[in-house]
Each structure stands twice: as C-alpha cells, then as structure tokens.
Structure 1
Amino acid sequence: MTGSPGETVLLTNPTSGKGRGAKARDAALARFKEAGMSPRSLAGRDADEALDIARQCVADGVETLVVAGGDGMVHIAVQAVAGTATRLGIIPAGTGNDVARYFDLPRKDPRAATERVLAGRARTVDLARSGSQYFTTVMCAGFDAVVNERANKMTWPKGQMRYNIATLAELRTFNPLPYTLDLDGETASLDAMMVSIGNGPSFGGGLRITEGAVLDDGLLDVVIIKPMSKRALVRTYPKLFKGTHTTHPAYEHHRVRSVTVAAPGIVSYADGERFGPLPLTVECAPGALTVLH
C-alpha cells in the first residue's frame, strides 16, 4: 500500500535537475515535519515505476500527491491524477519547470514551494488528452519536436542552453513539413515549420509558443508557424521567451476543443516527454486537474 485516504504522499524523481530532485525532497520533508506533517516519501527507479506508484496512490484514495521534480515528473503524476479527486502539489526541481511557472510557484526554493502545498489553496484547470494520455503544457509536432528529440539525446550542456544548441543544429537541415489538420471539424492541408498544441502558454523553460493559452477556458490553442527562412526563424526564436512572435506574418493561431494533426516522420513531444508519432487527435479535458498553488 502506497498511501491511505486523506494522506499526503511525496513522490520524487531523485535525478531531476542534476540531483535537485533529491535535495528538494529533503527540504520539503523538513518543512512538512516542522508543520507537524509526515507525508510518506516514495521514489521510482524509473518513469514506469514512478507512474505505477502514482497510480497506486490514487487507487488508495490519497488526498494529495506532491511531486518533487520537473515537468517530466509532473507529466507522470498527471497521468495518474487526471480526472480524480487527488490533488497535485509541485515542488519544482527540474530544468524547465513550466508547470510551476503557470502557477507562479517558487522554482528555486523548495521550502517556499512546500509552503504553497501546506496552504492548501487549490485551482482546478484543464488538461489536454490524446487517447489515454494527458499533458499539461504544450505538444510539439514539428521543428520544435525535432529539437526536443535532439536535445534529449544530448548530455551537455544542461538547461535551456541545450535547447538553444539543438535548435541551431536542426536548423541546418530542417525543411517545412506537409501537414493535414482537423480543427474542430474543419480540415486544412498546408506546409509549416511547426504545429504546437497548447493547454498552457509555454514549454522548454519559458518558450511561450502558445502565448495567450488559458488553463481553464475549455479550449486548446493551436499555433501554426508557416514556412519562413532559416535566418528569419533564428531571428524570431528569442521572441518566444516574451511571446512577441505573435505579430510575425508566418504565425497563425486557432482556439479549438479538438485537433487532429498529421505530418510524416514526426514523433510528437508533450511536457518535454516523447508523446507519440503523428497522426494524433488531441482534445481538451476541462477541469481534469486540481493543483495546489
């Protein structure tokens, strides 16, 4: 048994952020102890075991599942808690920490993040769903997915710079892709650099590709970046951190309840994790997640 009704469980990825996960867990446990709480502390040896633990916690009726880790750890927890009464707490300890950004959680102070969990203030938000899989942030299905694939294979450098280097490396050979999209029943065929599907506004450590996405509006934000020169793409890339790319003529934005995206040879990424090969249908799952913030 991994928990009991009414209990809080702390689930950790000890390797998140070069070992920051374990440090964040220890700081969180110390703060919980000071507050008179002693949550059960669990860790998976890998993603599959962590998901098994999270699902068992939900099955046991755990009230709050707190994760110490990055967006990948949140992604694992969300697969278990989506659509259930179990609340999610987040102690950020990863590289990107975009979900923590969404809720304005302290990203470098695990004790302060633990205070937010102890305060118990809850917000119910949407998730994006494809089949039995969920994501919280953005699904990348084009140039951004190819960059993710390369970045995940790199061992150096760490953090945002790894994405920047992977971006420059992929730019050398990338060409626009032929897409077929179904946007709430309207079909379009077009060439594009990327198609991104956002439940929230950013991915990859603050890249605000789906700027304007709202977590609880019952809609997904689909951003299409139409063909542009590689030089223009390089010039536009820094604007993603501020969300000011939205004025570029190659930018197109749709708000939908459901989208099907198809393009040859692309493996999509969501929450920074491999999500699945295209084609995929993604729909909004309104109110599927409750987060302590």
Structure 2
Amino acid sequence: MSGSSRREIALLTNPTSGKGRGARARSVVLGRLRDAGLVVRNLEGRDADEALDLARQCVADGLDTLVVCGGDGMVHLGAQAVACSTTRLGIVPAGTGDDVARYLDLPRRDPAAAADRVLAGRTRTIDLARSGSKYYVTVLAAGFDAVVNERANQMTWPRGQMRYNLAMLAELRTFRPISYTLDLDGRTRRLDAMLVAVGNGPSFGGGLRITEGAVLDDGLLDVVLFKPVTKPDLLRTYPKLFRGTHVTHRQYEHHRVRRVTIAAPGIVTYADGERFAPLPLTVECAPGALTVLA
C-alpha cells in the first residue's frame, strides 16, 4: 500500500465462518499485514450487531480500509458500514458460499494470497442494491429460494450446500406458486411465480447463477422470475443454476431495472445469505456505492 508505512487498517473476523476457517485465516492474515508494516485493529464482535458497531466505528474514525474475514455474511455486514463512504472494503474469504469472492476473482482457499490482494491496494468501484438504509452485494431471494433459506437456517445439520439441498427437497413437498405484484421501473406486473430474485451480481448460495448476466457496475438490477413449473421440472432445472444454463427455460424471465417493488404474502426475503426484510419491499441500485480491494 502507498503512503505511511504505519497506516492503520481494521481486520474484522467472524471466527466461526466456514466451520472455523475464519479464525484460522485471521491468524495468517494478521501476520501478513503486520509484517508489511501496517498497524492492524484486530476486531471480533460477540454477535452481528456488535460487529457492525465495530465496523461503523472504523469508518467514523476515518480508517481508509476495513478488511472482513469470513463469508458473504461478513461482506454483507462490512458493506452496511462502508457503503457510500471513502473507506475501502478488503475481503478475506473464509465462508461456505463466498459468492462475492467469486465475483472479484479473489483467492477463496488461500488467506495469505487474499491478504496480498489487500496489500496490493488495487481498487474497484461496484454498485450495491439498496432497500431503505440496508444494502446487499449479491442477490435478494424473494420466493421459493427464500423459503428454502428460511428452513435451512433452522436446521443444525448438515453443514454447507447439502443443508440447502435437503431444505429444498423438504419445502418442495408442500410448495405452491406465489402470487406477486411487481413494479419494474413503473411497469406493474401481477403474476404467479415460483420465485423472484433481484441480483446486483450473478450468483448466490455458493455459485447458484440465478441472475446470470448481472454486472456489478452497470447501474442496474437484474430481476429474474421463474413462472410456475412442475416439481420434477424444478428439480431438473436446479443443477443448471450452477452453470447459468437455466436462462433458456420457457418459464424464465429476466428484466434489467433501476428500481423494483415486490409484494407477496408471507415471504421473508434473504440477501447475501442473510435474513433481510419481509415483503413488500422496494429495491434500487446504488451505483458505485462500494469500493473494494480486488
């Protein structure tokens, strides 16, 4: 990094992310950053609220870099603190999904290499999606995918992607299409659908490319609809999400908008894998709201 050799930056870690990978990565990164001559605030919240307070304090203190060590949930937390500020966000991936790291082509299994990206200091400015005062980086799930996320979060076993797969199979037994009202940049649509997803980036859930084609810095959101399909068809389509080849499905729709309002009964949305807000909800693009070290 340029400037004073004694510049202070912050390292905020979720030690439990990725089955303890967060704590292991922190010790590697901390040594790497301090060996490079940086003064590092080594931070860890007792819970998400305290971690967010710590992150916001770093921004208030004028630190130019906040490095988060963990999964997409930690990136989500960091984005709330640094959005629309001059503080840059560095990312050391240590989660199970790490979709933001995929977007930015960051090393996902080598914390020392991720620390070197921070030290290199190269920045990229990307958009965020915003609803009220809350932001997200990846995708907002507002249908079957959100219902599955809600169930998966209530399960204690197994870990990782398999828990999501099992939750999906469990929800599929009773799932019915949802009645949505959408406002897409002022155009109203009323329809039944299996899911609605609003992407700032192209994937969520560890590489599920639901909003294939979404670009991080185009000033637009990508709204994807899956209109009603049979349950066997949904199961057949699911593996295609990892390759982004679901886009040819006859019940798939893709819209690019600056703002979308979604209304549907009984749905709690998820964004960056975190519980976000109940519907109805308005989401808009916040162009250039986040500066990342990438």
| Partner secondary structure for residue 84 of structure 2 | coil
Query: Match of 2:150, as an amino acid?
Result: E
Which residue is 1:154 aligned to?
Answer: 155
Give the whole-Å Cα distance in 1 for the aligned partners of 2:7 and 2:251.
50
Which residue is 1:112 aligned to?
Answer: 113
Which residue is 1:24 aligned to?
Answer: 25
What is the Cα deviation at residue 33 of structure 1?
A: 2.5
| Partner secondary structure for residue 134 of structure 1 | strand
Structure 1 contact 139–196 (Cα < 8 Å) conserved = yes
| Partner secondary structure for residue 211 of structure 1 | coil
Give the whole-Å Cα distance in 1 for the aligned partners of 2:266 and 2:53.
30
Higher deviation after alignment, 12-21 or 130-139: 12-21
Which residue is 2:214 aligned to?
Answer: 213
Which residue is 1:184 aligned to?
Answer: 185
Give the whole-Å Cα distance in 1 for the aligned partners of 2:55 and 2:186.
35
| Runs of 4+, deviation exceeding 6 Å | none
- Unpaired runs of at least 5, structure 2: 1-5
Deviations 1:194-221 (A, max 9, x none): 0000000000000000000000000000
| Partner secondary structure for residue 126 of structure 1 | strand
Which residue is 2:144 aligned to?
Answer: 143
Percent identity (aligned): 76
Give the whole-Å Cα distance in 1 for the aligned partners of 2:171 and 2:112.
39
Give TM-score scaled by structure 1 length: 0.97
| Partner secondary structure for residue 39 of structure 1 | strand
Which residue is 1:86 aligned to?
Answer: 87
Give the whole-Å Cα distance in 2 for the aligned partners of 1:57 and 1:32.
17
Query: Match of 1:112, as an amino acid?
Result: A
Deviations 1:3-61 (A, max 9, x none): xx952100011111111111111010111133222311010010000000011110111
Which residue is 2:171 aligned to?
Answer: 170
Equivalent residues in 2 for 1:201-240 (5 A)?
A: 201-240=202-241
Higher deviation after alignment, 178-187 or 33-42: 33-42
- Asked if 1:10 is matched to 2:11, the reply is yes
| Partner secondary structure for residue 37 of structure 2 | coil
- Unpaired runs of at least 5, structure 1: none
Query: Match of 1:141, as an amino acid?
Result: A
Which residue is 1:60 aligned to?
Answer: 61
Which residue is 1:46 aligned to?
Answer: 47
Higher deviation after alignment, 5-14 or 165-174: 5-14
Give the whole-Å Cα distance in 2 for the aligned partners of 1:172 and 1:274.
23
Which residue is 1:285 aligned to?
Answer: 286
| Partner secondary structure for residue 222 of structure 1 | strand
Task: Report how many aligned residue pairs link the two structures.
Answer: 289
Give the whole-Å Cα distance in 1 for the aligned partners of 2:48 and 2:171.
27
Give TM-score scaled by structure 2 length: 0.97
Give the whole-Å Cα distance in 2 for the aligned partners of 1:250 and 1:170.
20
Give the whole-Å Cα distance in 2 for the aligned partners of 1:229 and 1:6.
57
Structure 2 contact 52–78 (Cα < 8 Å) conserved = yes
Structure 1 contact 236–245 (Cα < 8 Å) conserved = yes
Give the whole-Å Cα distance in 2 for the aligned partners of 1:135 and 1:19.
24
Structure 1 contact 29–38 (Cα < 8 Å) conserved = no
| Partner secondary structure for residue 108 of structure 1 | coil
What is the Cα deviation at residue 264 of structure 1?
A: 0.4
